[in-house]
Amino acid sequence: MFGKKAFPKGGVESLHPNQAQGPLRVGVAGAGYFGRFHLQKVQASSREALVGLYDLDPTRAAAMGAEFGTFVAPTYEALLEQADAVVIAAPAEQHFSLAEQALKAGKHVLVEKPVASTLEQADSLVALAEKTGLVVQVGHLLRYSAEQKAITERIDRPLYIETMRIAPFRERGVDVSVILDLMIHDLDLVLAIVDSPIESVDALGAAVSSHFEDIANARVRFANGCVATITASRISLKTERKMRIFSEEGYLSADFVTRELVMIGRKNGLPLPGTNGFKRESVRWKESDMLQAEHAAFAAACLEGLPVKVDARAGRRALAAALAVTESIAATRERMILSGLIHQKPAGDY
């Protein structure tokens, strides 16, 4: 089993593959909605061993501990003492402090998105991960999806991207805006597809059922000329998750709910009469367990030193895009108020 290690002065070192004699000892910080799912995956994994959980709410922590039959740590420090790695599934405003403390204690970190609340915090985690050599993996689940693989296998030079992610309102996730709750998934996926820096963002959004934006639309222009239009809502009547991509390689349409992709191009599929050589390819995929895949990747990175698919830098890039959308929404709203298009809401109203 992993033993306690004496870390060098001024930093810590990660667990090396040849020192891995057993599963990765994992603690979970956060006994809420996502915490339960992470506890399930750790407990079911052959490469991870659940050593306990911690939550600021002792009653909730005790109930979750009883459900999973695991140690309930009285403090976060007590959880870290038992673990080689920690999963952070606490509210977003706690992500940075919990991740920083874990890294300074010599623990690998899997942190839910967003990686932090500010770019300064994200930069600090990037620097700390690089200094210590520890794994910092950010929970952008779409990177582990079958649809992401299907899309990137067919399109690598997009010209225009359009995404739609809408869902009915639920109390979960309202501690942050829909940008950090839902849109950040598509922002991260778009950033993974488009190999270019963001040049400008023009966005609009509104708070309807919470204190933060519940619906938002952003037009993102990249330095290479690609444009992405991204829409997210958590106050819709139905659930839709779709993406359309136009490129020189063809046109791609993906429905993440029905798990179906259609590609109109010249390489694969059945010929389309009267289209000068274009073909139609239809692809379907089975529902996959993205969270399980995320945990498998995390264990492999910690135990074997494999590359981290969504590291702190990737999390920082997604956060920067989400904050740029948020800032653009605020600027757009100010213009609307000044023009008289909308009225300023009294403080506390939403």
Residues 226 and 98 grouped into a single domain: no
Q: Check residue 276 and give its pLDDT.
A: 85
At residue 172, does pLDDT exceed 80?
Answer: no
Residues 53 and 150 grouped into a single domain: no
For residue 57, what are its two tokens?
Answer: 């709410």
Residues 300 and 264 grouped into a single domain: no
Over residues 137-146, the pLDDT tens digits come to 999 999 999 8
Report DSSP letters for 89-121, one per residue.
-S-GGGHHHHHHHHHHTT-EEEEESSS-SSHHH
Residues 34 and 70 grouped into a single domain: yes
Asked, for residue 11, whether it belongs to a domain, the answer is no
What's the one-letter identity of residue 201?
V
Q: How confident is the model at residue 156 (pLDDT cuts 50, 70, 90)?
A: confident
Containing domain of residue 58, as a range? 17-140+293-310
Q: How confident is the model at residue 8 (pLDDT cuts 50, 70, 90)?
A: very low
Average pLDDT score over residue span 60-78: 98
Asked, for residue 250, whether it belongs to a domain, the answer is yes
Q: How confident is the model at residue 133 (pLDDT cuts 50, 70, 90)?
A: very high
Average pLDDT score over residue span 54-79: 97
Q: How many domains does the chain have?
A: 2
Residues 123 and 230 grouped into a single domain: no
Q: What is the mean pLDDT of the chain?
A: 91
Domain of residue 162, CATH code: 3.30.360.10
At residue 19, does pLDDT exceed 60?
Answer: no
Q: How confident is the model at residue 126 (pLDDT cuts 50, 70, 90)?
A: very high
Residues 327 and 217 grouped into a single domain: yes
Residues 133 and 217 grouped into a single domain: no
The DSSP call for residue 307 is P
Nearest one of 109, 81, 111 to 93, comparing CA atoms: 111
Beta strands at 250-255 and 260-265: parallel, antiparallel or unpaired: antiparallel
The DSSP call for residue 197 is -
Residues 250 and 276 grouped into a single domain: yes
CB 136 within 8 A of CB 111: yes
Over residues 202-228, the pLDDT tens digits come to 999 998 888 889 999 999 999 999 999
Beta strands at 85-88 and 24-29: parallel, antiparallel or unpaired: parallel
Residues 267 and 302 grouped into a single domain: no
Residues 252 and 298 grouped into a single domain: no
Q: Check residue 2 and give its pLDDT.
A: 31
Asked, for residue 316, whether it belongs to a domain, the answer is no
Domain of residue 34, CATH code: 3.40.50.720
What's the one-letter identity of residue 161?
I
Residues 102 and 235 grouped into a single domain: no
Asked, for residue 165, whether it belongs to a domain, the answer is yes
Q: How confident is the model at residue 287 (pLDDT cuts 50, 70, 90)?
A: confident
Beta strands at 24-29 and 48-54: parallel, antiparallel or unpaired: parallel
Residues 278 and 225 grouped into a single domain: yes
State the pTM of this model. Answer: 0.88
Q: How far is Cα 75 from Cα 346, in angstroms, rounded to an integer?
A: 40
